[in-house]
Structure 1
């Protein structure tokens, strides 16, 4: 045996002991493929988060320095995603990836910074820091896990299906197949199938489905890489190839590397919101954002956990407290570092579908994010239509658990159905969870079965009623409303 083979065996032994690969029926190569797949599917956030927080593409807001700065946000987005995803892998040993949460960053940009009264962006990040601290306290006191365990199994399965449909819709929207018309009905419609990005997506979908049907282990990853190459060739052959409005252009960058700007680190340590908004409005802002963050993650963890087979017969997941703790710290850390709240990504399901079962996949994803601190221009090469086929397939795989939901039961079938459809229709995990929870409790109450509802569920239902009532009380308090 050579010295190199001995070293390699020792390295594998270390990984086996830390990540328990055999116990989770996986291998190093499978985890690496899963980690790379997850990264490719969610790498868009490195470009999209700075676009949202700095109002790129909105002429009326350009040059007003309302946001934290594009280059600074790129650096902090990649840094936070890398550090937190690695922490998730090492501490929780689950293949969940983290990054700045979409929806929450829009709340920061358009409802806090542009609200009435308006907050400077450091004060808005301070709101995010505070909601992250509150969620962390809920985890440390075991309340967050207790709420998770109080959810009926049927609703947990419905959350998984809803997230699957949500992911599938995101894939179709990213591909440009499903569009939102400027006016008139229907709310969403089918786009003409003759544009370059859509044709690229369709080719990529055929390739990805063929690879998956043939049992190729890296089908999702190979589909993304192959579709990116196809998009690049189309750009080279047809200069008028239409580029999607989303980040990613399938064009080789003029500059492959850049020095990061970390000047915004710790600027979220700002509590001016209490002076600007007033204590009541500031606390309500923290509460509503926290509620969205709280249940987005809960839905993601339950949905992917069901897909991977980690839920027991009662719908509980072993080691979930560690996942929730890293996630809650991520919310606070993202606010502190001016990247907006970092949360567990539903795109982690892509890595799980590729076979990832341990935190080793998260470490791989996190390392790739850290590399992007210097190589952000390279990530912009991956077009949205290249990752869309993977999202469509992952959405289908997650929605498969619908077969275990008894829709013939009015008590649980209707709440489950609302959970499944409200998520994609409103583009919000939290809205779907809330609709299902409130309906479930209401039906049980009017049928005299209120004792079947866990006491913590009633607390959560009350919180959701406050959340959904924002349209009534928010204008009265001059805080605009913070619904995702």
Structure 2
């Protein structure tokens, strides 16, 4: 039995073994386990029951990771995406006043669209049409967006009628505790401690509880709590409200996020083919799409690949067993659900700030000395947090890239799909301006 599994997961070709794969899977889980605490906290701001959101987070992460490991056989773990959950809550639900059930319907539709376009090969074409620098700018822009939300939740950045934003009161106990949490997480990260973010969240939560900043009533939580969110998505509402813009954002952001993670993990693991292609790409995209559909049905925002999977790869993980182990760990993590009510903003805010800062690493991939590249990348990077919209930043970046290249005579016939995307984005802005 074990020998059959070893052949299926290509242990000999990849130079790995069971011990290495299991340790790598646990490492991957520890580096991304913070999502079990952070994602429910973010979704609860949109009105999603926090205990049900926790169960949905664990279940969808387990499903996605297991599917990726078994079907695609890659050491890539999945979970509800950071950035996408923030967009779901703060833009779609709170800013646009869309009920969370309807927003889940939009996520489901985007997942079905993922699946259909993957089967038709169109998703792969879109991946190839977007310049690499815009991928990097989107990732960095989302990082700034997440960090900004973290600063706001920590009380470090507050609204100001004169200057739009201003520095908050650092003498506020919750704000001071958030600062301490950020310092602790960064220190652990510098020391290469596995699970540094999770340790920081738990430590700050314990301190907040001990000094009376948290008011919590114990409540039994289990898989039965999923009844509050499972199959509660409002498809009719998503279609009748004309939420194609939201579906568009969920689709493209997940598309870019998944590609960046895929490239990062496969490069680190040495799994890219000699011709620079990625083996079993369709299976990877299928696992991603199916996981998003499953996540929306269980009650969480878009499920996507996690770049923290590179931690497992660094620990030696090379096969799908790494992802399978991480998925099983997420199932076990559901037992911690009763304690999520203990987690205050002071604990999750520094996690958002740190994750946001880590996502800025891709900024070095942008050729800042070339205006044709730098200007579209800059617009993408800056407008995502400043307009509080991933769609706006992405749209302006694609449009600027297309217009500048065409205006300077650098347009290429093979970039027709990019120009088509630019026209679609332009029509979106015209539509929003008229509404």
Deviations 1:140-185 (A, max 9, x none): 11111111111122223323333343344344344332x241x514
Pairing of 1:33-182 with structure 2 (within 5 A): 33-54=27-48, 75-92=55-72, 93-99=74-80, 101-102=84-85, 103-104=87-88, 109=93, 126-177=105-156, 179-181=157-159
In the alignment, the residues of structure 2 paired with residue 123 and residue 397 of structure 1 have an alpha-carbon distance, to the nearest angstrom, of 31
Q: Secondary structure at the match of 1:448?
A: coil
1:225–1:207 Cα change, 3 Å: same
In the alignment, the residues of structure 1 paired with residue 174 and residue 7 of structure 2 have an alpha-carbon distance, to the nearest angstrom, of 44
Q: Could you say which residue in structure 1 is the equivalent of 2:26?
A: 32
Structure 2 unmatched runs, 5+:
none
1:135–1:211 Cα change, 3 Å: closer
TM-score by structure 2 length? Answer: 0.78
Deviations 1:84-107 (A, max 9, x none): 343234334243422274233567
TM-score by structure 1 length? Answer: 0.71
Is the CA contact (8 Å cut-off) linking 1:41 and 1:387 kept in structure 2?
no
In the alignment, the residues of structure 2 paired with residue 314 and residue 425 of structure 1 have an alpha-carbon distance, to the nearest angstrom, of 39
1:201–1:320 Cα change, 3 Å: farther
Q: Secondary structure at the match of 1:344?
A: strand
Deviations 1:405-455 (A, max 9, x none): 222211111011112222232344333222211110011122122226611
1:222–1:129 Cα change, 3 Å: closer
1:470–1:36 Cα change, 3 Å: farther
1:401–1:46 Cα change, 3 Å: closer
Q: Secondary structure at the match of 2:46?
A: helix
Aligned residue pairs, count: 422
Q: Secondary structure at the match of 2:224?
A: coil
Cα drift, residue 38 of structure 1: 0.8
1:413 matched to 2:374: yes
Is the CA contact (8 Å cut-off) linking 1:204 and 1:224 kept in structure 2?
no
Is the CA contact (8 Å cut-off) linking 1:76 and 1:262 kept in structure 2?
yes
Q: Could you say which residue in structure 2 is the equivalent of 1:62?
A: none
Pairing of 1:348-427 with structure 2 (within 5 A): 348-350=306-308, 352=310, 355=314, 362-371=323-332, 375-427=336-388
Deviations 1:352-392 (A, max 9, x none): 45757665554455445444655422233344444554554
Cα drift, residue 457 of structure 1: 0.5
Quick one: which of 199, 202, 206 aligns to 1:232?
Answer: 206
Is the CA contact (8 Å cut-off) linking 1:308 and 1:352 kept in structure 2?
yes
Is the CA contact (8 Å cut-off) linking 2:51 and 2:338 kept in structure 1?
no
Q: Could you say which residue in structure 1 is the equivalent of 2:185?
A: 208
In the alignment, the residues of structure 2 paired with residue 172 and residue 11 of structure 1 have an alpha-carbon distance, to the nearest angstrom, of 50
Structure 1 unmatched runs, 5+:
1-6, 55-68, 244-248, 476-484
Q: Secondary structure at the match of 2:80?
A: strand
In the alignment, the residues of structure 2 paired with residue 441 and residue 314 of structure 1 have an alpha-carbon distance, to the nearest angstrom, of 28
1:342–1:35 Cα change, 3 Å: same
In the alignment, the residues of structure 2 paired with residue 314 and residue 416 of structure 1 have an alpha-carbon distance, to the nearest angstrom, of 27
Q: Secondary structure at the match of 1:52?
A: coil
In the alignment, the residues of structure 2 paired with residue 20 and residue 383 of structure 1 have an alpha-carbon distance, to the nearest angstrom, of 46
In the alignment, the residues of structure 1 paired with residue 125 and residue 428 of structure 2 have an alpha-carbon distance, to the nearest angstrom, of 20
Q: Secondary structure at the match of 1:450?
A: coil
Q: Could you say which residue in structure 1 is the equivalent of 2:161?
A: 184
In the alignment, the residues of structure 2 paired with residue 206 and residue 137 of structure 1 have an alpha-carbon distance, to the nearest angstrom, of 44
1:458 matched to 2:419: yes
In the alignment, the residues of structure 2 paired with residue 53 and residue 267 of structure 1 have an alpha-carbon distance, to the nearest angstrom, of 13
Cα drift, residue 295 of structure 1: 1.4
Pairing of 1:242-257 with structure 2 (within 5 A): 254-255=218-219, 257=221
Is the CA contact (8 Å cut-off) linking 1:203 and 1:227 kept in structure 2?
no
Q: Secondary structure at the match of 2:303?
A: strand
Cα drift, residue 266 of structure 1: 4.1
Is the CA contact (8 Å cut-off) linking 1:71 and 1:260 kept in structure 2?
no
Greater radius of gyration (CA): 1
Is the CA contact (8 Å cut-off) linking 2:154 and 2:178 kept in structure 1?
yes
In the alignment, the residues of structure 2 paired with residue 15 and residue 203 of structure 1 have an alpha-carbon distance, to the nearest angstrom, of 47
Is the CA contact (8 Å cut-off) linking 1:78 and 1:373 kept in structure 2?
yes
Larger helix share, 1 or 2: 2
